[in-house]
Structure 1
Amino acid sequence: MPTEKLSSRAIVIGGGVAGKLSARVLADYFEEVMIIEKDHKQDQPQNRSGVPQGLHGHALLKSGEEILEEFFPGIIDELQDSGAVSANFSRDLAWFHHGSWKIRSHSQLMTIQQSRPFLEYHIQKRLQHISNVHSIYGAKPLRLVLDAKKTSIAGIEYQTEEGKVEEIDANLVIDASGAATFTTQWLKKNGIATPPIDEIQVNLCYASRAYEHLSPEDRDWKGLLVYPNPPHQMRGGGMYQIEANKWMVTLFGYGLDSPPKTDKEFLEHAAILDHPSFFGAIIDGKPASEVNIYRFPKMRRFRYEKMENLPNGLIVIGDALCRIDPVFAQGMSLSALEAKQLEKVLKQATKHQSLEAISKKAHQEFQRVLSIPWLIASIEDFRFPHTTGNRFFGLSFLQGYIKRVMLACSDNQIVYEKFMNVLHLKAHPATLFAPKMIKSILFKTVTPRHNLDKEKVIRS
């Protein structure tokens, strides 16, 4: 922790995962950190209106979990003590993908499973113990306040819950407001050009509900994934055990006219997935909530690092910066990785006791984090015929190779271990192209395996 603070105040717009983690980082470098949050304070784990996707399945990848523990030592144990479910990713997850089950083996990769409201609540409890972090709830940000030359941030203007308009000064503003970000509109109103945008239209929708219990049958897994096998199969689903002995069940589909909304439609969707195990797990289960719908029309990435006139002191993070297909469960972990990069640039700024070019440096670091997850999601999403966007050179080769990787994961534990590390954003995809990996993947005939009941868990 630096002995001398960079400045008197920093502001975070949005109190979701990205906002909370940003506030934790800023607390070490600013005398005061203010979180502007439009929702009310949560006194227990419950979904907020500002996070409509919170009612759906979420996963914290291992990279995100490790950063969370670094920022809040002991929080993983706290989550588990409060009901989060510990799982061995390979042993406890049954995953049917590209027509084959991935091998079930005891790996070194342990994860925790919980709902998003549960996770946010416990992060919030930890933030409340940091004396220089404060939240203004029920507040709506209205505009950015810039200096006279419109080259630097001077603060923001916001509306209180009572309707009063107030202005608060700051040398750094983090926009962590999510998909509903207003930053580009605010820049336009100040006559500032907006950043280039990368977009891939995926037309994804998903439906989720919690279950008190699944069908009364023996199972040796804590999570089940049945993914589409494009281009012919467009639907998939995932379920996993969460706190309070409940299960979160999410169904998703690409290019669907309408997601399942009723009990009957929910079961009908499950019944036509690529493997019957999913339907069998919920047909006699007991729902604990209504069916909730969420639509994700496109992946979107703002390229703020390419702007020459972005006001210094303005940083955009989390879903406000980049939204990647949520089926890949990378969102929360990417926010954590971005928070680590924010910490990196603030450490550098501390050496010079200056925030000069802080926005440019931060967004450059963020894009280094985002480039690989964006590539991975693009490779998979372009398998669906309705997906539109810029198809890059080498796409067909990568799609073919990655599919071979997926199939090799059905009976090659070493390949699956490597793939898991890439999936959890702990290793670069280049590791999948090492000579030994290429030999294992390209020169081995893989026979897809379809029967979950005959799978054996290998313990080592």
Structure 2
Amino acid sequence: MRQGHAVVLGGSMAGLLTARVLTGHFARVTIVERDELEGTWAGDPAADPRERAVRRGVPQGRHAHGLLAAGLNVIEELFPGAAGELAAAGVPAGDVLGNVRFCANGFRLKQVPIGLRALSFSRPYLESYVRSRVFALPGVAVRGGTDIAGIEADPARARVTGARIHPRTGAPQTLAADLVVDATGRASRAPRWLGELGYEPPAEERLHVDLAYVSRHYAVDPALLDGDIAIIVGPSAAAPRGGAVMLQEGGRAVITLFGILGDHAPLDDAGFRAYAKRLPLPYVSDIIEASPPLDDEAVRFRYPASTRYRYDRLRRFPKGFVVVGDAMCSFNPMYGQGMSVAGVEALRLGEALGRGGELDAPRFFRAVRPIVDIPWQIATGGDAALPGVQGPRDARTRLVNRYLDRLYATAAHDEVVSLAFSRVTNLLDPPAALLRPGIARRVLGRRRPATA
């Protein structure tokens, strides 16, 4: 029988998915969020524009978002039939490799159907759907328009007993809880809260990238994508900038251009178009030139650094408290990993709670360490290979980057290698899968072409 009360701080995707998992273990789950939250989903973006409204707390919601195959698997597990419902409502759907054009280091990877579904949506629309499903669950309460002031602990400071909140229309109060989950994202104050309780805060790892997303919506004829639902052109060593075209619900598309270390796309039409023409491959620029814009001007979102807090290395941690999502590790968003990793973490939290007894937070952090290690390695390794990024430059890193350079070239023509790479980037297989003998023979046995 479910008992107790869990409080989730943060109502974005990490918080929503965590709340859904917690409903299987607690009688009551309360979500606390600074923004006011709508809990309805009509399934028709044209009928209810609120489903595409960007919340103040999610400024990146105006830009291209991806849900990796691992993340969509989580959504389906937590909300059976979700992918079909979203597709029926007009979210473009296809195969994760057969209908997603992915380009890496100047090479377009070979596309073949692999039987894994992909969806292309706006972040607000997906979040609106998940929010409606979570809010409809018995025992779920929502405290929108509420600031989070901190956490409360018992006199011995051994256990977190609740969260201090401040509704904008009322007096400050404390929500008593058996478990408090910090899902507040990159702005998490958990390290400071731990210090205030006398605990050692986690070590912090950062890789500075100074990334900027610049995005604009367009009326894109789907025929221009030749059956694809998304095009992603990643940066190359010669041109460390990229772009994406994502078809979305409601018959429109978002086009996002991204660059690092100050190489950011302009907001004006002429500058935006000129920047796109200098991407490693012409696919994004071609669609911009053939499509009318729906926005007066582009919008920008800046992301300074990938950041990881090493909660997995802490020896002491208060009972009744845990951290998930970007509050634990925030990845460079151009790899599209954040929502998917948060979803898998939520499932692992449910497994930890399902073992019975009280949640052992240090054990949970160690359990999710490999879940974070893999996308962290992919993101920081990919960034470190770009000129100007101050990442590792040891012999092993140089060797891996040379191998990946050959792998991209091989994947442009070899569907076996392209499939292996797609499974890794979709967080279905570990990066070591790319070094398996069958893949390595194909990569190392092929002479790298002089040009893409």
* Contact residue 48 and residue 54 of structure 1 kept, 8 A: yes
Secondary structure at the aligned position of 1:394 is classed as helix
Q: 1:239 aligns with which of 240, 245, 248?
A: 245
CA contact (8 A) 1:146 1:152 kept: yes
- TM-score, length of structure 1 as denominator length: 0.91
Q: 3-state DSSP class of the match of 2:27?
A: strand
Indicate the larger mover: 409-418 or 397-406: 397-406
Superposition pairs of residues 156-171 of structure 1, within 5 angstroms: 156-171=163-178
- 1:445 corresponds to: 447
Quote how far apart the aligned CAs of 1:423 are: 1.0
What does 1:13-412 align with in structure 2 at a 5 Å threshold?
13-42=9-38, 43=40, 44-45=50-51, 46-213=53-220, 219-230=226-237, 232-256=238-262, 258-289=264-295, 290-348=297-355, 350=356, 354-355=357-358, 358-390=360-392, 394-412=396-414
Inter-CA distance 214–92: structure 2 relative to 1 (3 Å threshold): same
RMSD: 1.8
What residue is the counterpart of 1:455 in the other structure? none
Q: Is the 1:200–1:390 Cα contact (8 Å) retained in structure 2?
A: no
- Contact in 2 for aligned 1:215/1:281 (Cα 8 Å): no
Query: Which of 401, 414, 417 is the equivalent residue of 1:415?
Result: 417
Matched, 1:9 2:5: yes
Q: Any conservation in 2 of the 1:101–1:448 contact (CA below 8 Å)?
A: no
Give ranges in structure 2 of 5+ residues lacking alignment: 41-49
Give, as a single letter, the amino acid of the residue that structure 1 aligns with 2:283.
Answer: S
Q: Contact 2:316/2:362 (CA < 8 Å) preserved in 1?
A: no
Q: How many residues align?
A: 440
- Decide whether the 8 Å contact of 1:215 with 1:283 is kept in 2: no
**438-447 or 165-174, which deviates more:** 438-447
What does residue 45 of structure 2 align with? Answer: none
Deviates more, 1:122-131 or 1:253-262: 253-262
- What are the Cα deviations for residues 125-174 of structure 1, in whole angstroms up to 9, with x where unaligned? 11122111111110111011011111111001100121410111112111
Hey, what's the Cα distance between the residues in 1 that align with 2:380 and 2:167? Answer: 40
Instruction: Give the TM-score, by structure 2 length.
Output: 0.93
Which 4+ residue blocks in structure 1 deviate beyond 6 angstroms?
none
Match of 2:47 in 1: none
Q: CA deviation at 1:306?
A: 1.6
- The farther-off stretch of 220-229 and 323-332 is 220-229
* Aligned-residue offset at 1:89: 2.6
CA shift, 1:392, in A, is 6.0
Q: Give the gaps of 5 or more residues in structure 1.
A: 451-460
| Offset from partner CA, 1:349-388 (integer Å, 9 cap, x none) | x2xxx215x2112211221200011111121101123212
Equivalent residue, structure 2, for 1:434: 436
Q: Say whether the 8 Å CA contact 2:258–2:264 is kept in structure 1.
A: no
Q: Comparing 390-399 with 429-438, which one deviates more in the overlay?
A: 390-399
What is the SS of the residue equivalent to 1:283?
A: helix
Amino acid at match of 1:298: A
CA distance in structure 1 between the partners assigned to 2:449 and 2:393 by the alignment: 30
Q: Distance in 2 between matches of 1:54 and 1:268?
A: 24
Give, as a single letter, the amino acid of the residue that structure 1 aligns with 2:255.
V
